[in-house]
Every structure is written in C-alpha cells, then in structure tokens.
Structure 1
Amino acid sequence: MNHTSPDATGHGALLSSHQLRLRCRTGEHQITTSGYALGYAQANLVILPQQYAGDFLRFCQLNQKACPLLYVSEPGQTDAPPLGQDIDIRRDTPLYRLYQHGECSRELADISALWRDDLVTFYIGCSFSFEEELISAGVPVRHIDHQRNVPMYLTNRPLQGAGPFQGNMVVSMRGFSPANAIRAVQITSQMPKVHGAPVHLSAPEQLGIANLQQPEFGDAPVLEDGDIPVFWACGVSPQAALMNARLPFAITHSPGHMLVTDLPNSQLRFG
C-alpha cells in the first residue's frame, strides 16, 4: 500500500475529495487526512443504533462547539448526498474504530461487514477544515509541516449530558507564534461549523492537561521557541462520551482519520 504523505509526494494536498475517498475505499490511504485534499471540509463520524440516535442528537445540539453537525443520516443510509457524490460511509474513511461496551475493541479500514440497517451516521465538523484557511493566510500549521497527526487532549471541561451521553471536552492543539495565534483566532472565528474560535490559549494546566507532550489522541505536539499552545474544541469529544455511555455497539472514525467531503471550506465561512 502507498501510505505517502502530501509533503512526501507533493500531490496529496492537490487530490480532489473524491480521489481521496476512492484511495481510502481501496485501502491505498490509511493515514491521517490532515493536509490532504485541501479546500474540502472534513468530517468526524459517529455511527450508532437508531435507538440511541435521539439522545445523541440532543447531545450534539447541547454541545455545538465540540459537535457541530454537518449532516445526520436516515437509519441504514450509507451515502450522504448533501456532503458529496459517491460517498460510501462504510469504506471511505481511512480508519474506523469499533466500540463495544465503552471499549475500543479494534480498528479497521472497512466496516461493510459490520453494517446494519438500523445504524444512523452523524457527520460532525472537523478542525482540519480550517487548517487550509490558516495555511492560505500564511500561518504555519506545524503538525502538517512535520507530517504528523494533530495532538488531542481530554480536558476537565464538562459537556452537557443527554441520556447516556456525557463526559468532558476533548481539544485539539496547535502551536503558533503570538502574532500567528491572533491570526488563527480571527480566521477560525469565521468558521463555526468546524468548531469556530479556540476555547483556550496557553496555560494547558487550566484545562487539566498535566503534560502537553502526552496527548490522549494523535501525536505529540510540534512546538517552536516562543510558541503559544492554542486549543480548539474537538470532534473526538463524542468518542469520550461514547466510552462513558458504554453502548453495546458503536463506530467512529479513528482520531485524525476523517471523511473528506465535497463541501468547499469556503462555504463554512461567515459572509
């Protein structure tokens, strides 16, 4: 399999969203989607039985910063017409996680064999979408430059619960110079469908993060001298809620391995 990065080939960022989905579908691409198919919105996934869908929808509505909904499927629906053509949610994400009774039992690249007619898919906005806006504005995104996954941390900030779904917010972190941190706040504030403005700057201990070098998800951060850590609400937050809910069966994307849609990032901005 060819698991090359966009920086290694020079072409990953130029792939269309459909081309990247087809590579995921064939197993050619099983790494993070950060930095790939720039220009298109990426989505977090939560797939669960219909009997829990009402409570989870309410959870997302109560926590829109962490769970900004892009689309919710009908039971058993495997496509997502508002988000793109020729989407097969069973195969078009690089890597999935199967959760059973709150535990991640395995990761897999294709969930076709697990599919059921009662499954509802929630498509949730992802901060990878605003990374293109940062790069276009000349703001370096260090984990992309270093071909790594973004670091993600479980915080001490509680989310509002709904039914069995409750827990604390997960945040993603990017390090910037002070000037670029200001630009990042300005740019991302324009994109509430993909988490919007940061929830915290600097002082990670105030979020309950004891060691910035040991994220719960993703890779260790890349920070340069003088960088300020900037934290955004993260679409991995629902995975923490799923673990707390201990559902018998649920599926998510593996952190950093998103569904890339045909929705232009430009449509996610105000104005």
Structure 2
Amino acid sequence: MSHNTFPHADHDPRAVRLAARDGTLVGPTAGLAKGFVQVNLVILPEAQANGFLRFCQSNPKPCPLLAVSEPGERGCAALADDLDIARDVPAYCLYRDGRLDQTVHDVSDVWRDDLVTFALGCSFTFEHALIQDGLPVRHIDEGRNVPMYRTSVPLVPAGGFAGHLVVSMRPYRASDAIRAIQITTRFPQTHGAPVHLGDPALIGITDLHSPDYGDAVSMGDDELPVFWACGVTPQQVLMDAGIAFAITHSPGHMLITDIPDSRVALL
C-alpha cells in the first residue's frame, strides 16, 4: 500500500494505527512512521504467559521483550497512547491447536479477558537507521515484505516452548554488510547484530528465492545475504507447541508504537 493512502504515514505513528484500525491500511508496515519503534506481537492466555515470558528471557535475540500487558488489556501505556491492540495492526494471525487458523484485520470479536500481550522488538526499527546512513534496504526499495526463513539453529527450550530460529534477510555488498553490522549492533532491543552472513546452507536455508514468510527480493552477484534474528520466531514456536489459542501480528504487519527509535538505541 502506498504511503500516500493516508496522511502523515511517514512520521506519525498514531496516523498509521488509526489507518489500520479503520481498515485503510492492510499491508506491511516497513518504511511507515519513520523513527518510531515497530513491534511484533504475541498474545496468549494468561495460563501460558509465564512460560512464554521465560522463553523470551532465554532467547532475547529473536524475542527482545519491550512490554507485557496486564491480562485482558487492549491498551499498553508503555507502547502508545490511544492504542487498541485488537484493532491497530494491519493484519493478525489467529492460531488454534497449533495451526494457523486464519488471517484477519481485527481481533476484537475473539478478544478475551485472560489474554496477555507481549510486545517484541522488530528489525524494521533498525532499518530506519540503515537508510539514514545511506544503506539500501532491498525489500523497501522493491515494495515487498521482508524475506524470512526458518533455520536449523536451535532455540533454548524454556517455559514449555522450543523450536528453531527464524531469520530475516537483507542483501549487501561486503563493505556495506560490515557497516550494517556496526549500525544494527546499537539496537539490541530490536534484534541487534546479524546472526549469520554468507552461505545460507550453514544455517539450514536451502533456497533464498523461496522464503518461508514474506517475499523474495533480488540479489546481485556481488552481494552477500545478511541474516538477522526475526520476531516471527515465536509464531513458529507457538505452532510447534500446539498451543490451543494465540494471536500474533501477520509477518511484516507490525504494531507501530509512540516510542522513538532513539530510546532503544545504544548511544
């Protein structure tokens, strides 16, 4: 969806949330509300919430925890004012019995009083820093969702959850890859430095042109794939755990907060 479909998309996080709330915005959020933190969401019944909290603490690279709501709350003051967690994301995934049941644009009709929301840092935050430094971000340039891949890298089991790391990929020439590592290391709360670069087979990825989530992007012969831990990891973990009911954002369709990027950067 074009940034011009609704006003202030480039710099106003509330405008983006309201556009998602009224159905104007249904596409990915990469490149929107520049300078504000975007978050991955995992929404679970309170019965599973403590276990998932321990899982996040054991796996901070893919699951950097920024905020946790009280049960049943659809707002979260730590993230934003005028926030409705059940309506302010362009697309949600509903999971039932360990399977993706459906993708919807509003979850208010299935909201429950026992649901706890986990907000996890997202790599879209450091993309703004990359662009500011003059580094291209291929999926934004090509108007696509970021490519994401399941890997063979095991996670630390905790709280009844386990599985393998999911990564996002951005291609760079070697010199730019080094600079991208330097920049993203400053953002540990939004996945931080890459977890791998170069040969994808070393982390169990067989075909870069067939991502498990998101869209494939073009790669030049002189470019390396650079892989960052990804907030889609918990979605795979929830399915592996066969959890009875859960809600997440749809990959690439984030909740945009009022938190400035600078607040999650190491200076």
TM-score scaled by length of structure 2: 0.97
Q: Tell whether 2:203 aligns with 1:207.
A: yes
Check the 8 A contact 2:93/2:103 in 1, yes or no.
yes
Whichever residue aligns with residue 209 of structure 1, its letter is I
Shift in alpha-carbon separation, 1:133–1:10, aligned structure 2, 3 A: farther
Select which of 72, 86, 89 maps to 1:90.
Answer: 86
Query: Aligned residue for 2:34?
Result: 38
2:78 aligns to what SS in structure 1? helix
Where in structure 1 do 4 or more consecutive aligned residues deviate above 6 Å? 8-12
TM-score scaled by length of structure 1: 0.96
CA distance in 1, matches of 2:94, 2:78: 26
Check the 8 A contact 1:12/1:36 in 2, yes or no.
no
Aligned residues: 267
Select which of 5, 14, 30 maps to 2:2.
Answer: 5
Q: Deviations over 1:161-180 (max 9, x none)?
A: 12331100000000011111
Check the 8 A contact 1:12/1:35 in 2, yes or no.
no
Whichever residue aligns with residue 240 of structure 2, its letter is N
Query: Aligned residue for 1:248?
Result: 244
Q: How does 1:124-139 map to 2 (within 5 A)?
A: 124-139=120-135
Give the superposition deviation at 1:224.
2.3
Calculate percent identity across the aligned residue pairs. 53
Q: Tell whether 2:49 aligns with 1:53.
A: yes
Query: Aligned residue for 2:194?
Result: 198
Select which of 62, 75, 94 maps to 1:79.
Answer: 75
Query: Aligned residue for 1:265?
Result: 261
Give the superposition deviation at 1:253.
0.4
CA distance in 2, matches of 1:131, 1:50: 33
Check the 8 A contact 1:175/1:230 in 2, yes or no.
yes
* Structure 1: gaps of 5 or more residues: none
Whichever residue aligns with residue 177 of structure 1, its letter is R
Q: Tell whether 2:80 aligns with 1:103.
A: no
Q: CA RMSD in A?
A: 1.3
